[in-house]
Structures are given as structure tokens and as C-alpha cells.
Structure 1
Amino acid sequence: MTDAAMTDAASTAPSPLSVTTPDGLAIAASVWEPDGTAPGPDLLFIHGFSQCGLCWSEQVASPALAHLRRATYDFRGHGASDKPHDPAFYQEAGRWADELAAVIGQAGLDRPILVGWSYAGRIMCDYLARHGSGAVSGLVFVDGVVSNEKRFFGTCNRLMRQMCSPDPATNVAATRAFLRNCFAREPGRDAFETLLGLNMLVPAPVRAGMFGRPADYDGLLGGLDLPVLAIQGAQDIVVAPAMAEHIAATVPGARLELFAEAGHAPFLEAPEAFNAALARFVADVGAR
């Protein structure tokens, strides 16, 4: 990831959109129109725990993906979206599913490929369980979470719990440490500070509300009839590579791509290689 990535992406002007969820939240979304050079499925990027849509700056500004319609959104409790503190807004799978469906519908996305990082793996599964697969073309799990089993996680769960602390000193220290652990090689200072700022937009009660809900998706994944790509940083110590291997082994026909030098954020650590892999997957999906 380069220090200029956030600035470069900001100069690529998206269309902002406020999406209203069925449970009454305002969700901030952005849509980038294609440059018209080639057709392809739309892309919807979904961020992870304590981040926001701006983390996809290297993707929405990528020449390798510029021919596609691209969209991001800040899911509930994050970024510029509404942040209710009531745990019910984060504990019920249907709310996450309906939020994603609202983004797809109100952004006018045409059977997008969903690209979900980390916690967003759960959101994609919640959506499929409730709404089916008819409105999407494919799935990309990026160091994605689909299970609560301890064997699929690394060494950062304690830090994530401390990120829920109402004590500012504990919260900030844990957030800084967690963010560093997301990378095999820490990004430059400006980029790190930007990402830290995005993390600190998320209130502690929101973070706490996201813990503890069940994750039983194996039956769903085993019955999927969609193109699926699991991309994983081989040096990830947040979500173990075993999680991506499980996805690839469970979903019929799923593909696995390991990024040997990346940690939990391969789309930021190796953006050109990540974008090339995503472009290949999009082309394969479009050719079906």
C-alpha cells in the first residue's frame, strides 16, 4: 500500500449515495462508473471489522478494474453510516442481510460480484441465507470469516476484545496494535494513520455488539452454485489461512489464491497482484 493511495482514490470522483435499510438506518455508499472500455459484472466491495469503504482505495482507483462499475459502502456502525449502540442492530443476521440487499437495490447494481474482507464473509453468507443468490454473480472472500471455530483464527482475538473497551487509553492502544497485526509489513506512516483514523470512527459499543453471534454457514457454502474465489494472505495472524482453505474445500468449484508475502489485508499489501487476480475472476465470471 502506498501513502498516496487514499488521496489518489479521492481524486477519482464517485457518486455518493445514502441507502436506507429496512430497520431505518442511513448507510453511506459510493459508486464509481466504468470508463466504458469493456463490459463486466459490477463489483461491490464490503469492508471488515472496524474499517469503512475507504479501505478499498487501491481497488476503486485501479486501472485494472476501471472498466467495471464499482461500489463501496460503510456498513452499520462504521464510517459515515448510522451508529446505533443497541446490540440488537448487530446481533441479528437478518439486519445484515437486508442492509446488503438494500445497498444492491438502491445503488442499482446489476448482479454484482461481492468482494468481502474478513467480517464481511459473514455478511455475504447472511445475505445468501436470507435472499438467495439470484441477485449476485459471484463471491470473493478476502481473508474472509465464515466460522467461529478457534482453529480458524490467529492471535488477535484478545486485542479485538480490548478494542471494545470504553476506556480510551485501552481502546486506542489495542486498535493500534491490532492494525499493525493486520499487515505482514506495516504500511507507510500516512497510510497507517489514515487507517487508524477510520478504525477510531467506530464506537466501542458497536464493536462489542458485533461479538458473540453464531456463525453456522457450512450447509449454505456446501450448496452454493456460484463462482467463488478465496483470497488469503499466507502470513495472516488475524484470520488463519485454514479459514480460506475451509472455504475452498466446502464450496463446490471454489478457487483459492494465497498471497505468500501478505497478512490480513492482501488488497492493501499487494494491490496490483490482488487487482489482477480479481480482474481475472471477473473475466471468468463474465464469460460464463
Structure 2
Amino acid sequence: MTSVLESRPAGHRRRVKTADGIELEVREWGDPNGPELLLVTGVAQSYLSFVKQYSAPEMQKFRIISFDPRGHGLSDKPFGDQWYQDGKRWSGEVQSVMDAMELHKPILAGWSLGGRIVRQYLVDYGDTQLSGVGFLSCRPVEVPEVIGPGNAVVQKLDIDDLGSRIDITSAFLRNCFGLQPDADEFAFALGYNMVCPFEIRQQIGKWWTEPAISEAALRRVTVPTLIVHGRDDILVLPDAAVITARLIPHATLSLYDGCGHSVFFEAAERFNAELRDFVKDCSDPAAALATAKRRTMAAAS
């Protein structure tokens, strides 16, 4: 049986330059005329994280776009706090990709750090250029009580030893999953995790946004919103998703039993089905609101 890694499509490659001069690695898959999905990955990760989305046959009717954020994968990796602690640089990346790829009302979804980048986009640009928003296992409101114990492994990011850096990266990556990947999948992910320098991870770690700013931006969201989170996430606790859902009352909140931080990988079949339904909702906001109300009532009963 061919694995998803062996059969993954390379996608169409594009290099996109941001307003502050960073070149980003951008990839595109699927139907160029289909509904647009712009997926933003997490810290130390890559567009390769979404292999179970862009490789899935049932997802090929969509135009799927993802990119390596600055400091990650094949994108530029400047050193210095200034490149990673100004929120407008992160949101500007998203806008640069949208402009260069000529996206028209995409669904913008972010995982982990990517969810914070989506939040920052909403702070700086609002949702008028989007048809929907997705928050995947993330904390758009950066309150400390939702930081899980799995983050303790990265407290030694300053170790100046390659072997120790590999050990830390491996431990962090293990904590990204409740349902662990197989050996080949883990080795593949460890490879692109190591491409992000530890110095840049430290610089990203200093980026923080005042919760009141994030809360105000989330309250202004009017487009359909999907929030997914694993109940066993030890990096970002599920309460983060609950906070986001309270700030966006019309959002659909979907919690995954038995899953950790990477629900789109651990439970790809369910996640892809929910994402396909969400795309339909985004084409009919009234239907999205009705769906969200039904799911909220079902969850409360």
C-alpha cells in the first residue's frame, strides 16, 4: 500500500516576496478554479504538515495553498528579533500571498502559530477579504493559562549542541501528537522541523500580543468560523478553543476525543470531511449560522 508520503504531490511552486523583502516558499494544489483554502502552519513546521489535506483525492476539488512562514522550510530565514516580533510582518505575509496568488475571498485557516498569524491578520486587515476563518489547535488569545505542560521540553532551546537540539525537537514533535505518527511519518516531520533554526524559534517565542487586542479582533469577525481542537492537546489546552468560541458566538466548535495538537493529521478523515462541509457553509453564510446553532445545541444536550 502506498503511503501518503510516497504519493504526495509536489504542487505548483511559487516564490512570493513580502512587503519587508522576505521571500516565501508557496505551494498550490487542486483545482485552480475551486474554492480557495489558504492554510498556515505552526512553529518549526512547513506546508508539508498539511500532506493529508493536499494529497487527499476528495480535497482536489479545492484550490489549496500553503506556505512556509518566514524562518521556516524553504522561506528566507533572517536573524533578529525585529523580523519576528512585529505582528504586522506576520499578517503582511498572509496578505502578500493572497495578492501574489490572486486569491478571491479564501478561507484562511491556521494551526498553532498559524492560528496566531490568522488572528494577527484579523487585527490588521479584518475579515472583509475572506469567506471564512479556521482556528486549528491554537490560542488566538495569548493568555498563559491555556499553555499546556508539553511546552516544557522547549525550555532548553538555547543549548549550543546539535545532538541536544535534535533531542529537543524530537520531544517537542512527539508532543504535537496524541495519536503518534508511524516511524516514516515522524522522520519526515523531524526533517522539516530541524530546518527552522533554534535562534529563530527563540525570536518567535518573544512575540506576544495583548489579549485585549486579540479579543477585540475576534469579536469583529462576521464570516463563518471553524474552531477545531484535540481534547488531549498538551501544547495548547482545549480551553483556548473555548475562549475563541465565546468571542465568536457564531463559530462552529469541534473538539476531537483522543487527539492531540495535530487533529488534521491524527484524524484526517474526520477533519477533511468537516473542512469540506465548512467550505459549503462559507458559500452560504446563513446556512453556516444554522449549522453552528445546531451543533451548539447538540453539544449542550
Does 1:28 find its partner at 2:22?
A: no
What do residues 201-255 of structure 1 show as CA deviations (whole Å, max 9, x unaligned)?
Answer: 0011110110122222011111211111110011100100000111111113011
What do residues 65-120 of structure 1 show as CA deviations (whole Å, max 9, x unaligned)?
Answer: 21111101000000000001111100000100111100111012221101210011
1:174 to 168, 172, 182: 168
Q: Which runs of 5+ in 2 are unaligned?
A: 286-301
1:235 to 228, 232, 236: 232
Distance change in 2, residues 1:260/1:164 (3 Å): farther
Distance change in 2, residues 1:161/1:5 (3 Å): farther
Kept in 2: contact 1:120–1:145 (CA 8 A): no
**Partner in structure 2 of residue 124 of structure 1:** 118
Give, in whole Å, the separation in 2 of the partners of 1:117 and 1:101. 17
Secondary structure in 2 aligned to 1:173? helix
1:82-161 to 2 correspondence within 5 Å? Answer: 82-161=76-155
**Partner in structure 2 of residue 7 of structure 1:** 6
Secondary structure in 1 aligned to 2:7? helix
- Number of aligned residue pairs: give it: 282
Give, in whole Å, the separation in 2 of the partners of 1:58 and 1:240. 23
Give the partner amino acid of 2:127.
S
1:155-234 to 2 correspondence within 5 Å? Answer: 155-215=149-209, 216=211, 217-234=214-231
Give, in whole Å, the separation in 1 of the partners of 2:116 and 2:239. 16
**Partner in structure 1 of residue 63 of structure 2:** 69
Q: In terms of mean alpha carbon deviation, does 131-140 or 52-61 score higher? A: 131-140
Kept in 1: contact 2:223–2:282 (CA 8 A): no
Secondary structure in 1 aligned to 2:149? coil
Kept in 1: contact 2:122–2:218 (CA 8 A): no
Tell me the percent identity.
33
Give, in whole Å, the separation in 1 of the partners of 2:154 and 2:224. 31
Secondary structure in 2 aligned to 1:145? coil
Alpha-carbon shift at residue 164 of structure 1 (Å): 4.7
Moved over 6 A (4+): none
